[in-house]
């Protein structure tokens, strides 16, 4: 009679291997589902501006913050899913190799040595990835933001864990490694500010100039197009901001939606110049 023991052992090993692989896939799917749930919860969390409605923050900023939060959560979710897949599937494969009596100790040793060698040779790459991870977690900037990254200033077109792609005002595209960015100036986060300095002569009617500028501020705030899509709150007129040897400088400012300050500034300059001309008040060059 034939000995069925070897066949029984092979069948048992095959069943064990299949179970290990199936279990790894199930755990991976569960991990992905858990990560997806966490991402959805983070992306659809409570409104960040709902607690500050008394400050007259428009819903437009709330929508922008929600979109940024959603993009950041989805990016981090994708990274976590890849890490979970590598860890879980890799552990399953190692378990299968051990089940097949293939020694994995030399393999683990080789992988460890290779990892150390790659770590020494790719320190800058690791630095870029770590900086990119923290940049995404802290929401320092996102696609569409206008930032000053030190090496370049421009609009963010793409963000990855390794590089940030910017386009400056001349249309030039810059690729900045995340690990080389030591400080970020973001002009588009939350809100922006448009302002104009108005220099007038020393003998000008200070009270009259201030009243005229306040009238311009009220006019801008009353414009439905600007109020609904660009301006956050009514513009403010400050007193004499500067004194020079030839002029008095007033300042008028307007809080705007992110990246809308340039357009509001152009409109502000046009309205102020028109109002001064109508009142016969000349602007002078400030020293």
Q: What's the pLDDT score for residue 120? A: 67
The answer to whether residue 49 sits within a structural domain is yes
Q: What's the pLDDT score for residue 4? A: 59
Q: Burial-class residue 109 by CB neighbours within 10 Å (0-12, 13-18, 19+).
A: exposed
**Helix H or strand E encompassing 224:** helix 224-229
Q: What is the CATH number of the domain that holds 33?
A: 1.10.287
Residues 175 and 275 in one domain: no
CA dist 168 and 146 (Å) reads: 9
CA dist 232 and 182 (Å) reads: 31
Non-local CB neighbours of 287 within 8 Å, separated by 6+ positions = 244, 245, 246, 247
Residues 166 and 90 in one domain: no
Residues 20 and 57 in one domain: yes
Q: What is the CATH number of the domain that holds 199?
A: 3.30.70.100
**Residue ranges making up the domain that contains 150:** 140-186
Residues 9 and 97 in one domain: yes
3-state DSSP assignment of residue 83: helix
Residues 33 and 116 in one domain: yes
The answer to whether residue 218 sits within a structural domain is yes
Q: What is the pLDDT of residues 232-283, one digit of tens each?
A: 888 999 878 888 777 888 999 988 887 788 888 899 999 999 999 998 888 8
CA dist 108 and 97 (Å) reads: 12
- The residue ranges of the chain whose pLDDT is under 50 are 1-2, 46-57
Residues 12 and 107 in one domain: yes
């Amino acid at each position: 009679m034939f000995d069925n023991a070897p066949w029984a052992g092979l069948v048992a090993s095959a069943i064990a291997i299949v179970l290990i692989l199936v279990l790894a896939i199930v755990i991976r799917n569960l991990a992905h589902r858990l990560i997806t749930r966490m991402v959805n919860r983070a992306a659809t969390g409570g409104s960040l501006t709902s607690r500050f409605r008394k400050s007259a923050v428009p819903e437009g900023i709330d929508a922008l913050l929600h979109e940024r939060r959603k993009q950041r959560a989805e990016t981090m979710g994708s990274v976590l899913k890849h890490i979970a897949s590598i860890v879980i599937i890799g552990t399953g494969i190692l378990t299968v190799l051990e089940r097949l009596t293939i020694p994995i100790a030399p393999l683990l040793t080789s992988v460890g040595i290779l990892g150390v060698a790659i770590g020494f040779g790719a320190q800058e790459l690791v630095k870029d990835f770590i900086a990119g991870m923290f940049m995404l977690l802290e929401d320092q900037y996102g696609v569409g933001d206008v930032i000053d990254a030190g090496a370049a200033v421009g609009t963010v077109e793409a963000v990855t864990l390794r590089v940030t792609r910017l386009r400056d005002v001349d249309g030039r595209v810059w690729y900045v490694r995340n690990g080389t960015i030591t400080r970020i100036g973001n002009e588009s986060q939350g809100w922006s500010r448009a302002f104009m300095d108005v220099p007038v002569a020393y003998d000008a009617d200070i009270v009259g100039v201030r009243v005229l500028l306040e009238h311009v501020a009220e006019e801008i705030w009353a414009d439905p197009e600007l109020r609904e899509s660009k301006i956050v709150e009514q513009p403010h007129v400050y007193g004499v901001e500067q004194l020079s040897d030839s002029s008095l400088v007033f300042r008028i400012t307007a809080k705007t939606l992110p990246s809308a300050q340039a357009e509001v500034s152009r409109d502000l300059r046009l309205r102020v110049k028109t109002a001064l001309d109508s009142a016969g008040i000349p602007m002078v060059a400030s020293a």
